[in-house]
Amino acid sequence: EILLDTSFLRSTNSNIRKVLLSPDHTIFAYTIEHEGMETGSLHFKDLTGGKNVKDNVLEEVFNFVWANDNMTVYYTVPNEQLRPWQVYAHRIGTPQSHDILIFEEVDDMVFVDIVNTKDKKYITINANSLSASEVYIIDAHHDVSKGDTPPLKLIERRSSGIEYYVDHHDDHFYILTNADESGNFKLVRTPDAQPGREHWQDLIKVKSTEKIEDIDLFRSHAVVYAKREGLPVILCYDLHTLGMHEIALPETFCVVNPGANLTTKIYSTFLNERKNQEFETDTFRFSINSPFAHESTWDYNMTSQKLTPVRVHPMHRFDATRFTCERIHVNAEGGVRIPVTLMHRKGIAMDGRNPVLMRSYGAYGQSTEPEFRVEYFPLLERGWVIALAHVRGGSELGRPWYEDGKLLRKKNTFTDFIAVAEYLVKTGVTNPDMLAATGTSAGGLLVGAMCHMRPDLFRALILRVPFVDPLSAMLNPDLPLTRVEYPEWGNPTADPIVYDYIASYAPYDNVPEGRTRPSILVTAGLRDQRVACWHPLKFVARMRERDTAAGSGSDGSGIVLAKVDVDKGHFGAGRDQEQRLKESAFELAFLISQVQR
């Protein structure tokens, strides 16, 4: 039976953001969002035929969860700056105007999200900034049909620099936190009646080279998803014996996609969706995404410690044995060693003639992952090397790695990237006339900085929806997300030191006069609510204004191209595979034409 035919959405430039069944599986709830929008409309479909819910539509919904009565949903709504700040309770079959306001966060730097605990006993309201947390819980069985607001129970008051994320098991709260100088996070627990920090008891701590990224709770076990030296690790913790063992993964260089529960990524696209819904089980499921293979799915029995493949699809017309993935380290300023993941054909000659594409992000603690990307394969088959620079600002090497690439240390991100590029040239992997780089959003800022910091190192640059005018953006608190991002970039309206520092590296404010520069492709989305299209477009305009040769390719200066999609937002084609392939083909044509001309 087809529950939802989404074929009609393409003609309306819309897509499905989230789907969620009611606890008794009688109502199918889903949100539809228009391309580029951060919110959508919440719809309901009765699967029994006994309820008339077709016309019950909620507007401007950011995220939602079900209560346990199968007739109530809790949802968040954003303000004009796209910051989710309110939580409402909605009773199925009633007008949205009758919904009950449950929670409101007035701090402009705080995002509000809602999540069910794994045992379904509570709903957590998470009021998080980029550097601090405050969590409230409400009883998932609370009856709102009479208009009663459910009591809010605070776990721990917000404290600068302290992050925590809450789940529940039996009569204890399990909390993932960086408290007590645990920068790479630890797992603690505390009794229901004593949720405050003074009662937190340590359960799992990790080494300085490891970082806990996620926890998933089951009846008898806790699964810990972590990184060790930037590579994924899964640990299985027995809640009864307190023993712990590591799961041997089928791939070394890969991305593990867990059944997420607690998450330290508040910008998660799908808002804490959980693949492992079952609580009463000894088996959990995860997927592996690796550079040279389709995504594979695996089941792991936590009692027998047996790993079983569920779905492994081979790549057709691609011989992965001809290629290799390796990790090297590059020395940067101050003796810091930058991890770099290299993907290339086996046996390449170090003669300085290999075309190279560098990629990185380096912001918000987001790692640059060695994941499967279809656009890599045409390059790999043509002899390219893909170099993932794990620069500071990401969290590949833990929380300190992230802290060392933000605020007044943001330039470390750029100098790390330059150090990797210089190493690839010095060691004979490539030469500046065959070196290219690509970055998206904040990664576009990083790549954009190369235009004025080291244009001599690169032949071609791709800046996808790039955040190239951070100074203007951070000076305007009315723009979407500006206030939320003060902990990442600083507040130039309040601190002249921050103003001068951002101005010293912002790509738009540092376009040089008349300098020969690489060929540059800049993309923008007219519906982008995160990086407004004027960021990349004014950057292109200034480059062309200050160098009459820019855009023409004459006099040794590279071409400057701007590509604007009038129907797309920050995430481009999103889940539209045909459109994604078209976007990739355009960018590959640009790279190959400029580097392998």
List residues with catalytic annotation: 441, 528, 570
Counting Cα atoms < 13 Å in the Cβ hemisphere of 540 gives 25
Query: Which residues are paired to 103 by β-bridges?
Result: 87
Give the DSSP H or E segment for 560.
Answer: strand 560-565
DSSP 259: -
Query: Which residues are paired to 337 by β-bridges?
Result: 331
b/e sequence 78-96, b meaning 16+ C-beta within 10 Å: beeebbbbbbbbbbbeeee
Q: Which two tokens stand for residue 298?
A: 């695996």
What is the rounded end-to-end Cα distance, in angstroms, of the chain? Answer: 52
**DSSP H helical ranges for 466-576:** 470-475, 486-489, 496-505, 534-546
* Bridge pairing between strands 244-247 and 262-263: unpaired
- Which residue in this structure is represented by tokens 């290299």? 342
Contacts of 258 by beta carbon, 8 Å cutoff, 6+ apart: 214, 216, 223, 225, 234, 275, 276, 286
* Helices and strands, number each (H, E), in the chain: 9, 33
Q: Exposure of 217 by Cβ count < 10 A (0-12 exposed, 13-18 middle, 19+ buried)? A: buried
The sign of the CA dihedral 18, 373, 257, 306 is: positive
CB atoms within 10 A of CB 504: 12
CA 260 centroid distance within chain:
13
Q: Which of 328, 374, 382 is nearest to 356 (CA)?
A: 382
- Which residue in this structure is represented by tokens 């789940």? 167
DSSP 399: H
Q: Exposure of 37 by Cβ count < 10 A (0-12 exposed, 13-18 middle, 19+ buried)? A: middle
Rounded to whole angstroms, the Cα distance separating 561 from 593 reads: 13
Rounded to whole angstroms, the Cα distance separating 242 from 108 reads: 41
Contacts of 55 by beta carbon, 8 Å cutoff, 6+ apart: none
Cβ 131 vs Cβ 163: under 8 Å: yes
Distance of CA 375 to CAs 34, 292, 314, 346, 370, Å?
Answer: 26, 12, 18, 19, 13
CB atoms within 10 A of CB 302: 21
- Which residue in this structure is represented by tokens 């400057």? 560
Rounded to whole angstroms, the Cα distance separating 503 from 270 reads: 34
Q: Which two tokens stand for residue 186?
A: 């630890």
